[in-house]
Structure 1
Amino acid sequence: MDDILASNNKLLKIHDSFTKKSEKSINSLIKSATEYKSKMKNNGAEPNDLHDSEKELKQSVKNTLAELKEIQKDLYTNVSKLGKQVDKIGKVNLDICDENGLLEEFHDQIDVEIALHLLRSGRFDLAEVFIEESSAQLSDMVVEQFKMLFRIVSEINNNNLGLAFKWVEDNKERFEDGGMFLEFQLFKQEYLTLIQNNKVFDAYSYGKKNFTKFLNYKPKKIKNEMDYDGFKCEEDCKKATSTGYEQTKLGYLDEIRRLMGVIVYAKRLDSSPYKHYFMPSAKQILADLFTKSFCVLFGLPAEPPLTITMNAGLVALPNISKVATLKLKQQSVTNQQDLKKRKQMSDAWYNHNELSAEINLADSLCFHSVFACPVSKEQATETNPPMMMPCGHVICKESLEKLSKSNRGTSPAGKFKCPYCPQHFMEAEAKRVYF
């Protein structure tokens, strides 16, 4: 996928360059043709001058065409390269990944994720049709909440923060920090908008009135858990709602100092040390913050699960399909036997604890910790989980059982020695570790 994005970005740059150079060359050619036409209309023009001008115009046309053809050739080469890279993704054999309908049991869950993705994207008409025609079970309250979110985002992009302030006030009890972080970002945006509109005195008064309460802010205690219309928001979800909160609660004072310093440069914001506050992306960052906070607040991941799944699949499935296809080609069996082998390979997706190929995913696509036993060097699984001994050292269950078995009859009370310290324990004293 990274190669496709790189090729696409390169193609866009070449296209922009082609457009600019084409316009420049054609405009220059039009200018030459106009000048030649003016000379032809001028009865006092010398025949030799007209002949020279005509010769120059013909040469300009020839040079322009040659230049445009060369640029166009480079453009088509990169279009072809991008097309081939996209075709490679399309050739992935997905049937081998779901030979026996292994994903059928997740059909309802997939429908729900598709519906939520459409809602998160603001495609409400399409989402409502999909919910009606699929097995997705979403309440009207969820749909209305997403519509409210997009009204807020639209208002933020139009510099109207009233609806956003009201939403934070209505939901402040649901936030770990009482909505202080989001509220501060809204005050900050309103303050900067006043300065940008040359209302410096109003901005100073506004900042003095609204930033004061953040100087001595103390975190609030929160409830143990919260349910909202079918979405359960656990402790870790609520902590995520205060994005940047741990840093911000200590940095409100420094940030307020910087914001007040902007006033000094009110007449030359573009060349000030604070010009980043007024970049076009500032409002979009605030809108994205609201979107992520909204989703996590109601028990939804900050990033769309469907997007994460698609990104991981684009990386993983080509490699897995390639390995599986090579294995099938190496098997010289009859058609009936081949079908049996394909079934066994499909079942292996659930029966085995490892994939048929190593998949290198980006950190943003990895969500599970991996534990490797220091004794056996094997990766922990559900049937061979990590076990912690009273001394604090952790090994896998199978290694623990082997150590216990090898010391039976030689050690009093069936105890065995920890492989990393001199202490002795019984197998029953070890506890399973969950990462």
Structure 2
Amino acid sequence: MELDTIKDAFDRVTKKQKISFSKTQEVIDQITKEIEQAIMKMQTSSSDAVECCDQVPILAELRTKLNEMAPMSQLEGCQKELSIGLSKYVKLLEKYFNPDISKAYRNVEFDNHIINDIIASHFYRQGLFDLGDCFIHEAQESDASTLKSPFQEMYGILEAMKTTNLGPALSWAAKNSERLSQKGSGLELKLHHLQFVEILQNGTRDEALKYARTYLAPFASVHKVEIQKLMACLLWAGRLDQSPYAEFMSPTHWEKLAEELTQQFCSLLGQSYESPLSVVIAAGVQGLPTLLKLSTVMAAKKQEWQAMKQLPVPVDLGREFQFHSVFVCPVLREQGGDENPPMLMPCGHVLSKQSIVKLSKSSTRPFKCPYCPAEATVSQCRQIHF
């Protein structure tokens, strides 16, 4: 794969750069050592009157040693290898990275308003509110408060959590308690858990007990074991770091909870945790080399690939971009479902049930696979589940 080739070339250049740096540092250290020794000899001169005469042979000796070391000659070899490696790496980048990516672009009409909303929403979900406002203004879009205000609330909660202030997070969780429960989220209990530990460590035992009776008691019937552990922490009030439950004070709990809150917040907004724009760009970067290569091959054959309804080659984006399974029959070009499920043929190709029925024309008559010379009957095809 092109990316593996580029990475290997980069690793080789990096290795040569480290060798060159080490050699350069070694030569500098040698020169520094000789100069320091010469300075020490000068400083040990016993008489100011003869000091000038004594320094002449010292400086001559230093010059002789530096000439014998020949620092430039020592550095020329590794620098030359580094320069050769860098020039090869640049040529490799020029070979695999075509600056003209427009050849991989397919002429598709987009709604500019929707595109602008996607970009602005990306800035807001990253917490770049000033940048989002500037973009909306430059794009001459209408007020984007509906996109901005939810993420302002989320980042306000996250900023408060950075200062160990769980008040805004607890208020939001209480307001959305029912919706969080429907999603099977334990976020509200985890927030109360952290708040209880904070009170126990910085407050008094009575304050912690009062908080537990008010906010933890409703969870006791479902989360009995966890509540019991928290109640045992009351015995270690003020010195929880010396208890068997010291792990409750780990900063990683705050980090994980902030991430979970972000996920649940976006989920309740009906949006994904990761920015759709980031995902699309990342997927495009992975698929771009294949599309560029396809456009080059098709241009050499004087064929227009943009007019095709289906790409002649697969674009492998990896499992990180596989969010759910949707089967579209390559023959009928219709999405599969309960009434028209995907069927696996003996040759390994998958068609929809309706396609197989149309191709076979009979339950016992063999038919040819539209993608290979193999033949099969309807009874030999098996329904598959994604």
Q: Same fold (TM over 0.5)?
A: yes
- For 2:247 and 2:70, the matched residues in 1 are separated by 45
Q: State the match for 2:191 in structure 1.
A: 186
Change (3 A) 1:155 1:34: farther
Please report the TM-score for the alignment, with normalisation by the length of structure 1: 0.60
- The answer to which of 114-123 and 75-84 deviates more is 75-84
Paired amino acid for 1:278: S
CA contact (8 A) 1:165 1:183 kept: yes
- For 1:170 and 1:123, the matched residues in 2 are separated by 26
- For 1:17 and 1:256, the matched residues in 2 are separated by 58
- The answer to which of 200-209 and 315-324 deviates more is 200-209
Please report the TM-score for the alignment, with normalisation by the length of structure 2: 0.66
Aligned-residue Cα RMSD (Å) equals: 5.4
Kindly provide the CA deviation profile for residues 153-174 of structure 1, in whole angstroms up to 9, marking residues without a partner as x: 2222222222222222233343
Q: State the match for 1:113 in structure 2.
A: 118
Q: Equivalent residue of 1:44, what SS?
A: coil
Spell out the pairing of 1:33-432 with structure 2 (5 A cutoff).
33-34=35-36, 36-44=38-46, 51=58, 55=62, 90-91=97-98, 93-98=100-105, 101-102=107-108, 104-134=109-139, 139-177=144-182, 181-190=186-195, 205=209, 209=213, 211-217=216-222, 253=225, 257=229, 266-267=240-241, 278=250, 282-331=253-302, 341-342=303-304, 345-348=305-308, 351-352=309-310, 355-371=311-327, 379=330, 382-383=333-334, 385=336, 388=339, 395-403=352-360, 405-406=361-362, 419=379
What displacement does 1:109 show? 2.6
CA contact (8 A) 1:155 1:161 kept: yes
CA contact (8 A) 1:380 1:386 kept: no
In structure 1, runs of 5+ residues without a counterpart are 218-248, 332-340, 373-377, 409-416, 422-432
CA contact (8 A) 1:15 1:75 kept: yes
CA contact (8 A) 2:177 2:188 kept: no
Identity of aligned residues (%): 22
Q: Equivalent residue of 1:401, what SS?
A: helix
Spell out the pairing of 1:4-19 with structure 2 (5 A cutoff).
none
Kindly provide the CA deviation profile for residues 250-294 of structure 1, in whole angstroms up to 9, marking residues without a partner as x: xx736974996896995579xx99769635x55333322222221
Change (3 A) 1:387 1:165: closer
Paired amino acid for 1:320: L
Change (3 A) 1:273 1:78: farther
- For 1:367 and 1:182, the matched residues in 2 are separated by 24
The number of residues matched between the two structures is: 354
- For 1:9 and 1:275, the matched residues in 2 are separated by 40
What displacement does 1:365 show? 0.4
Larger Rg: 2
- The structure with higher relative contact order (CA 8 Å, sep 6+) is 1
CA contact (8 A) 1:387 1:397 kept: no
What displacement does 1:182 show? 1.8
CA contact (8 A) 1:173 1:179 kept: no
CA contact (8 A) 2:327 2:335 kept: no
What displacement does 1:152 show? 1.6
Q: State the match for 2:371 in structure 1.
A: none
Change (3 A) 1:39 1:306: same
Change (3 A) 1:132 1:398: same
CA contact (8 A) 2:118 2:277 kept: yes
In structure 2, runs of 5+ residues without a counterpart are 345-350, 365-376
Change (3 A) 1:387 1:289: closer
CA contact (8 A) 2:340 2:353 kept: no
